[in-house]
């Protein structure tokens, strides 16, 4: 059916010809591939989901990866847009991925990469569950757990891939620095997160978003700010919120 706007424009211009296909309103085709469970193997990239809607709306992308073999991570490429334009972003799936969007088209593809972004090994494999859902969720209700350690100068909070939501604590000793690492702390290494810890005061990491850790979440008090120098006399309590 010719749209009302096109009909009015033709009438105003005195155009009495028969309607042409170009006069007809554009209708976006609907694709129902909302998501699935997919096996990723080696360096091959695969489409995980592809949704096209008649109009732009609130959409949330979710993904979870179960590494079957190797030390690679799952990287999900999300392309989303409206009309004839789109943008693309790459996201690593650590624990669980959630990306809220507003768009009329969303395409997900996945591939395996090394922890440093290098190509995955040929025998690496992972099962990825990814889907696209219309609407919004209870994003303010986070499924997390709080862990704490007290009276120590270093510790291991969690092993394996983790997503750190918040980190802080209290310094009961002299001023020091708290370093958070993705893996075991080593002398002279730069930390993933650096936090000054004044004597007799609380401290916390001031970050806008969460931080992904691939190996483990470990921390240690340091007598130097930029690189790790163990401060074994520190007396700290640390509190960490991890995504379940």
Asked if residue 162 and residue 110 are part of one domain, the reply reads: no
Q: Which range of residues forms the domain containing residue 237?
A: 144-243
- Answer yes or no: is pLDDT of 7 > 80: no
Tell me, yes or no, whether 7 lies in a domain: no
Tell me, yes or no, whether 115 lies in a domain: yes
Per-residue pLDDT band for 139 (boundaries 50, 70, 90) equals: low
For residues 219-223, give the mean pLDDT. 98
SS3 of the chain: CECHHHHHHHHHCCCCCCCCHHHECCCCCCEEECEEEEEEECCCCEEEEEEEEEEEEEEEEEEEEEEEECCCEEEEEEEEEECCEEEEEEEEECCCEEEEEEEEEEEEEEEEECCCCCECCCCCEEEEEEEEEECCCCCCCCCEEEEEEEEECEEEEEECCEEEEEEEEEECCCCEEEEEEECCCCCCCCCCEEEEECCCCEEECCCCCCEEECCEEEEEEECCCCCCCECCCCCEEEEEEEEC
Asked if residue 203 and residue 125 are part of one domain, the reply reads: no
CATH number of the domain within which 156 lies: 2.60.120
Tell me, yes or no, whether 18 lies in a domain: no
Percent of the chain scoring above 70 in pLDDT: 85
Asked if residue 108 and residue 38 are part of one domain, the reply reads: yes
Q: Tell me: the pLDDT tens digits for 70-105? A: 999 999 999 999 988 999 999 999 988 999 999 999
pLDDT value for 55: 93
Q: Tell me: the pLDDT tens digits for 168-205? A: 999 999 999 999 999 999 999 999 999 999 999 999 99
Tell me, yes or no, whether 15 lies in a domain: no
Tell me, yes or no, whether 25 lies in a domain: no
Per-residue pLDDT band for 136 (boundaries 50, 70, 90) equals: confident
CATH number of the domain within which 99 lies: 2.60.120.510
**What is the rounded average pLDDT for all residues in the chain?**
88
Tell me, yes or no, whether 61 lies in a domain: yes
The pair of structure tokens assigned to 139 is 């994003």
d(CA 219, CA 184): 8
Asked if residue 164 and residue 88 are part of one domain, the reply reads: no
For residues 52-62, give the mean pLDDT. 93
| Domain count across the chain | 2
The pair of structure tokens assigned to 68 is 């079957």
pLDDT value for 32: 53
Look at residues 78, 111, 134 and tell me which one is the last residue of a structural domain.
134
């Amino acid at each position: 059916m010719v749209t009302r706007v096109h009909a009015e424009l033709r009438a105003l211009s005195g155009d009495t010809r028969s309607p042409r296909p170009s006069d007809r309103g554009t209708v976006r085709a609907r694709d129902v591939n909302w998501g699935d469970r997919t096996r990723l193997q080696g360096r091959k990239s695969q489409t995980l989901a592809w949704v096209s809607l008649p109009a732009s709306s609130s959409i949330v992308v979710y993904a979870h990866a179960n590494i079957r073999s190797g030390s690679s991570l799952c990287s999900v490429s999300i392309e989303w847009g409206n009309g004839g334009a789109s943008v693309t972003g790459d996201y690593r799936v650590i624990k669980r991925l959630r990306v809220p969007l507003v768009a009329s088209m969303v395409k997900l593809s996945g591939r395996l990469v090394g922890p440093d972004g290098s190509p995955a090994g040929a025998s690496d494999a992972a099962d990825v569950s990814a889907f696209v859902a219309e609407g919004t969720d209870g994003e303010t209700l986070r499924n997390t757990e709080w862990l704490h350690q007290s009276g120590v100068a270093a510790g291991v909070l969690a092993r394996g891939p983790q997503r750190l939501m918040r980190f802080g604590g209290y310094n009961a000793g002299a001023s020091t620095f708290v370093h958070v690492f993705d893996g075991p702390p080593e002398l002279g290494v730069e930390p993933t997160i650096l936090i000054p810890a004044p004597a007799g005061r609380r401290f916390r990491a001031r970050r806008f978003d969460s931080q992904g850790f691939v190996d483990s979440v470990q921390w240690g008090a340091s007598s130097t700010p930029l690189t790790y120098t163990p401060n074994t006399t520190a007396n700290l309590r640390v509190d960490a919120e991890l995504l379940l």
